[in-house]
């Protein structure tokens, strides 16, 4: 059966010249109301016991780690022709060399990244995503991430994100200052120990694992490591007390028993949280990719400052073409406009035509992207670890 399925994937790649269509993966969350900016009908956001559809995962091989939900929640599906489909996760497991390239597949077991759109009507609670050494204790992956706030979308009621802690807390080693809020679990006053930064359309932030943050309400296109780990440190959010189980979601039973709430403080990267130049060292804005600039359009790095993942924004002008060539496998989201991607019809907002997976073999030779509409065609490309080793790095500011 596995051999038959592998042949299905490889056959689809051969027929479709190394490109596969992907279906959206809708993810519900039960701790916040939705922003309702994902393009779904109004009634579709209510997911009953699961909460509300608040996220769309893109080119995902990661299962959403929710309390309740379908077994494939968060997993993207691949169309293989003749109505046949399977999860992208299974397709990659069956045909890694064909999708990822033989050399890359020899050193990487998966695509190793997760792209998503998150869309909340209230600010997310103050939380962290675990670092590699801490998540290894519970058999999970760490989660470094980066944000891009797309232009032309309502920013919501609270378009500012809290990051880290006030620098004196780290300088004076007052780490226990957060502990009473975790033990009492009654309000949102823990935020008084953090700083908020505006969500600016067209910009974003790069955030290593272990850094405290409470994302604002700007619609966000996020790229991250392949993981759904977190620890919520804020009890009261959007007018209700969230379950304290979310504080300990990715803590081992042993650490919870012996350390209690202090276990979370040990998962925090205090050095980065207390960086007095946090904004200068973490803010990202589009960097023009000079070497791919063409008469028909241009590309910009929008996810960078790390080699764990990377991403570009491609703009093609109305009626023009752009020749695209990259270093390895990637997936795309069509954010604005319509056109052709190596002959595939693409259109923003059309859930059957706005996602593609481009295999290594196809990505590394020229692909013609054509804008057939009257407005700019905007496409976001998402890459996994170690594909773009020359991404821009933010110059480090130090006190």
Q: 269: closest CA among 187, 175, 205, 180?
A: 175
Statement to judge: residues 321 and 272 lie in one domain: no
Instruction: Report if residue 11 sits inside a domain.
Output: no
Residue 47 and residue 53 in contact, taking contact as beta carbons nearer than 8 Å: yes
| pLDDT tens track for 56-90 | 999 999 999 888 899 999 999 998 887 889 999 99
**Exposed, middle or buried: residue 394 (CB in 10 Å: 0-12, 13-18, 19+)?**
middle
The position carrying tokens 């205090």 is 270
| pLDDT tens track for 207-254 | 999 999 999 999 999 999 999 999 999 999 999 999 999 999 999 999
Statement to judge: residues 358 and 226 lie in one domain: no
Instruction: Report if residue 20 sits inside a domain.
Output: no
Q: What rounded mean pLDDT belongs to the chain? A: 96
User: Taking residues 350-364, what's their average pLDDT?
Assistant: 98
Range of the domain at 36: 25-75+111-283
Statement to judge: residues 317 and 263 lie in one domain: no
Backbone phi, psi, residue 115, to 5° = -105, 145
| pLDDT tens track for 86-131 | 999 999 999 999 999 999 999 999 999 999 999 999 999 999 999 9
Q: What is the pLDDT of residue 320?
A: 98
Q: What is the pLDDT of residue 367?
A: 98
pLDDT band at 379 (very low <50, low <70, confident <90, very high): very high
Statement to judge: residues 224 and 310 lie in one domain: no
Total domains in the fold of the chain:
2
Statement to judge: residues 312 and 376 lie in one domain: yes
The position carrying tokens 């269509």 is 21
DSSP string covering 167-205: HHHHHTT-GGGGHHHHHH---SGGGGGSEEEE--TT-EE
Instruction: Report if residue 377 sits inside a domain.
Output: yes
Task: Report the percentage of the chain scoring pLDDT > 70.
Answer: 99
- Does 12 have pLDDT greater than 90? yes
Statement to judge: residues 46 and 172 lie in one domain: yes
Instruction: Report if residue 94 sits inside a domain.
Output: no
Last residue of a domain, one of 227, 251, 283: 283
Instruction: Report if residue 9 sits inside a domain.
Output: no
| Structure tokens that stand for 30 in this block | 């039960």
Last residue of a domain, one of 268, 283, 298: 283
Statement to judge: residues 205 and 170 lie in one domain: yes
- Does 394 have pLDDT greater than 90? yes
CATH classification at residue 205: 2.60.120.10
Helix intervals (H) in the chain: 2-15, 88-94, 96-100, 102-107, 132-135, 167-171, 179-184, 253-259, 262-265, 270-273, 278-282, 360-363
Q: What is the pLDDT of residue 399?
A: 64
pLDDT band at 1 (very low <50, low <70, confident <90, very high): low
Last residue of a domain, one of 283, 298, 322: 283
Cα–Cα distance, 161 to 124 (Å, whole number)? 9
Statement to judge: residues 337 and 249 lie in one domain: no
- Does 318 have pLDDT greater than 90? yes
Instruction: Report if residue 93 sits inside a domain.
Output: no
Q: What is the pLDDT of residue 65?
A: 87
Instruction: Report if residue 7 sits inside a domain.
Output: no
Statement to judge: residues 279 and 292 lie in one domain: no
pLDDT band at 31 (very low <50, low <70, confident <90, very high): confident
Its pTM surpasses 0.85 = yes
Q: 127: closest CA among 14, 17, 273, 256?
A: 273
DSSP string covering 300-368: EEEE-S-SS-EEEEEEE-TT-EEEE--SS-EEEEEEE-EEEETTEEEETT-TTTSEEEE-HHHHTS-EE
pLDDT band at 349 (very low <50, low <70, confident <90, very high): very high
Statement to judge: residues 47 and 184 lie in one domain: yes
Q: What is the pLDDT of residue 81?
A: 80
| Structure tokens that stand for 234 in this block | 């804020």
CA angle 122, 124, 126 (to 5 degrees): 140
Q: 215: closest CA among 158, 161, 155, 149?
A: 161
Task: Report the percentage of the chain scoring pLDDT > 90.
Answer: 95
Statement to judge: residues 275 and 302 lie in one domain: no
Instruction: Report if residue 12 sits inside a domain.
Output: no
Statement to judge: residues 275 and 310 lie in one domain: no
User: Taking residues 136-152, what's their average pLDDT?
Assistant: 96
Q: How far is CA 168 from the centre of its chain?
A: 31
pLDDT band at 298 (very low <50, low <70, confident <90, very high): very high
Going by the DSSP 8-state scheme, the letter that residue 48 receives in this structure is G
């Amino acid at each position: 059966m596995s051999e038959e399925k592998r042949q299905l994937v490889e056959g689809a790649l051969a027929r479709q010249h190394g490109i596969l269509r992907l279906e959206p993966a809708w993810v519900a969350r039960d701790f916040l109301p939705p922003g309702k900016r994902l393009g779904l009908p109004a009634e579709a956001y209510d997911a009953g016991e699961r909460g509300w559809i608040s996220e769309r995962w893109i080119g995902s091989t990661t299962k959403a780690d929710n309390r309740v939900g379908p077994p494939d929640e968060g997993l993207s599906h691949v169309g293989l022709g003749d109505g046949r489909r399977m999860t992208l996760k299974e397709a990659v497991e069956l045909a890694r060399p064909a999708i990822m390239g033989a050399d890359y597949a020899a050193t990487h077991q998966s695509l190793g990244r997760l792209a998503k759109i998150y869309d909340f009507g209230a600010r997310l609670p103050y939380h962290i995503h675990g670092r590699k050494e801490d998540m290894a204790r519970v058999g999970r992956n760490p989660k470094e991430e980066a944000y891009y706030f797309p232009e032309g979308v309502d920013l919501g009621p609270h378009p500012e994100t809290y990051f880290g802690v006030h620098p004196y807390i780290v300088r004076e080693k007052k780490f226990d200052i957060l502990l009473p809020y975790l033990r009492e679990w009654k309000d949102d006053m823990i935020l008084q120990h953090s700083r908020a930064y505006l969500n600016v359309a067209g910009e974003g932030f790069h955030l290593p694992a272990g850094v405290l943050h409470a994302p604002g309400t700007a619609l966000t296109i996020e790229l991250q490591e392949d993981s759904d780990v977190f620890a919520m440190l804020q009890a009261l959010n959007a007018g209700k007390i969230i379950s304290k189980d979310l504080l300990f979601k990715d803590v081992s039973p042993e650490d919870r028993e012996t350390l209690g709430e202090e276990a979370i403080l040990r998962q925090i990267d205090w050095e980065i949280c207390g960086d007095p130049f946090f904004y200068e060292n973490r803010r990202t804005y589009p960097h023009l990719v000079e070497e791919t600039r063409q008469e028909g359009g241009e590309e910009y790095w929008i996810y960078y400052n790390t080699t764990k993942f990377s991403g570009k924004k491609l703009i093609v002008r109305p009626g023009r073409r752009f020749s695209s060539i990259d270093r390895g496998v990637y997936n795309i989201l069509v954010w604005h406009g319509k056109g052709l991607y190596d002959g595939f019809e693409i259109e923003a907002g059309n859930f059957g035509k706005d996602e593609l997976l481009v295999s290594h073999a196809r990505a590394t030779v020229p692909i013609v992207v054509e804008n057939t509409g009257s407005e700019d065609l905007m496409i976001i490309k998402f890459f996994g670890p170690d594909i773009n080793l020359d991404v821009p790095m933010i110059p480090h500011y130090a006190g």
